[in-house]
Amino acid sequence: MSAYLKIDHVGKTFSRGASETEVLADITLAVDKGEYVSIIGHSGCGKSTLLNIVAGLTPATTGGVLLEDREVNSPGPDRAVVFQNHSLLPWLTVYDNVRLAVDKVFSGSKSRAERHDWTMHNLDLVQMGHARDKRPAEVSGGMKQRVGIARALAMEPKVLLLDEPFGALDALTRAHLQDSVMVLHQKLQNTVMMITHDVDEAVLLSDRIVMMTNGPAAKIGEVLDVALARPRKRLELAANPTYLKCRQRVLEFLYERHRFVEAA
Ligand SMILES: Nc1ncnc2c1ncn2[C@@H]1O[C@H](COP(=O)(O)OP(=O)(O)O)[C@@H](O)[C@H]1O
Ligand SMILES: [Mg+2]
């Protein structure tokens, strides 16, 4: 059966001199169009490696990634990435950071005026239109992540790849940004693959949670459907039995069956 995004028997081995480490072993996952899938697992299990393979930034050792039945093995605007540490260009304004991506993707298909409007539209989507002329150093960490999300969305990617996008933020900013991402997903229906190690974040945002076993040679241990209606409200969910059951399941997986072993 063909899926929108298919990770097909992906394995990854890093070699350093004579030593080889198998980080990922035989990862297969199909993601539907419009689906929000989270990948959760302990630090170092290979989550970022998997995301980078889908992004085309790291080559798979075995297997491959298909997007709409086409193999992807190099980076492209159809797969936009938002990293934990906002990767904005510090010498450009908020506007120009987004505009740069818009110009790259749409210079052939949108006029200058349209590219301007599209840049502003995406900044407004993440409530950053007011800060268009500021430089990254002049805005908060949460705002930088918003701009990173605007830049990614502005590319109209087929898949949005988020690598712990809220990981470096304080709890309140994090909650606020999670809510924004939920609203955006509801509105735009984009396909999202998000890496996280936060159980509540995974349950709140996802349609499905993919739980990875500890490395080396990490695999998909379990996949959980999060059968919670959208739009979701964080406060109401706190007492929702389905929410609590999902949360419990992920916690059990991570902290009993695949307890984190601190590397020596
Ligand atoms: N370029 C690389 N070369 C060698 N080893 C790497 C490289 N990138 C990641 N690794 C190793 O792969 C494992 C998984 O890393 P990573 O995917 O970053 O984990 P996670 O994102 O789950 O914390 C780690 O043991 C890490 O040291
Ligand atoms: Mg990582």
- Alpha carbon nearest to ligand 1 atom 23, residue: 44
- At 154, which helix (H) or strand (E)? helix 141-154
Strands, DSSP E only, in the chain?
Answer: 5-16, 19-31, 36-40, 62-67, 70-71, 79-82, 159-163, 191-196, 208-212, 220-225
| Model pLDDT, residue 256 | 81
Same domain, residue pair 101 and 187: no
Mean pLDDT of the region 16-44: 95
Same domain, residue pair 205 and 255: yes
| Model pLDDT, residue 50 | 98
Give the position of tokens 């790259």.
104
Same domain, residue pair 255 and 175: yes
| Residue 209: CATH number of its domain | 3.40.50.300
Give the residue from 74, 133, 123 showing the smallest Cα distance to 101.
Answer: 123
Mean pLDDT of the region 51-70: 97
% residues pLDDT > 70 (the chain): 97
Same domain, residue pair 144 and 177: no
Position 75 pLDDT exceeds 70: yes
Cβ of 85 below 6 Å from ligand 1? no
Residues paired with residue 218 on neighbouring β-strands, in sequence order: 24
Same domain, residue pair 70 and 144: no
Mean pLDDT of the region 111-137: 97
Same domain, residue pair 150 and 65: no
Same domain, residue pair 151 and 172: no
| Model pLDDT, residue 258 | 72
Instruction: Give pLDDT tens digits for 190-235.
Output: 999 999 999 999 999 999 999 999 989 999 999 999 999 999 999 9
Count of domains forming the chain: 2
Tally of helices (H runs) and strands (E runs) in the chain: 8, 10
Q: What is the position in ligand 1's atom list of the atom closest to the CA of 50? A: 17
Same domain, residue pair 227 and 151: no
Cβ of 4 below 6 Å from ligand 1? no
For ligand 1, pick from 10, 12, 13, 14 the residue to mutate: most ligand atoms within 8 Å of CB.
Answer: 14
pLDDT-derived band at 264, boundaries 50, 70, 90: very low
More confident residue, 105 or 262: 105
Ligand 2 center from residue 250 Cα (angstroms): 18
pLDDT-derived band at 1, boundaries 50, 70, 90: low
Domain boundaries, position 142? 86-156
Mark the residues whose beta carbon lies below 5 A from ion ligand 2: 48
Q: Which ligand is nearest to the CA of 46?
A: 1
Ligand 2 center from residue 164 Cα (angstroms): 7
Q: What is the position in ligand 1's atom list of the atom closest to the CA of 52? A: 17
* DSSP per position, 122-133: HHHHTT-GGGTT
Position 242 pLDDT exceeds 70: yes
Mean pLDDT of the region 58-62: 97
pTM for this prediction: 0.94
Position 136 pLDDT exceeds 80: yes
> Which of 82-91, 156-165, 187-196, 244-253 is predicted with the least confidence, judged by mean pLDDT?
82-91
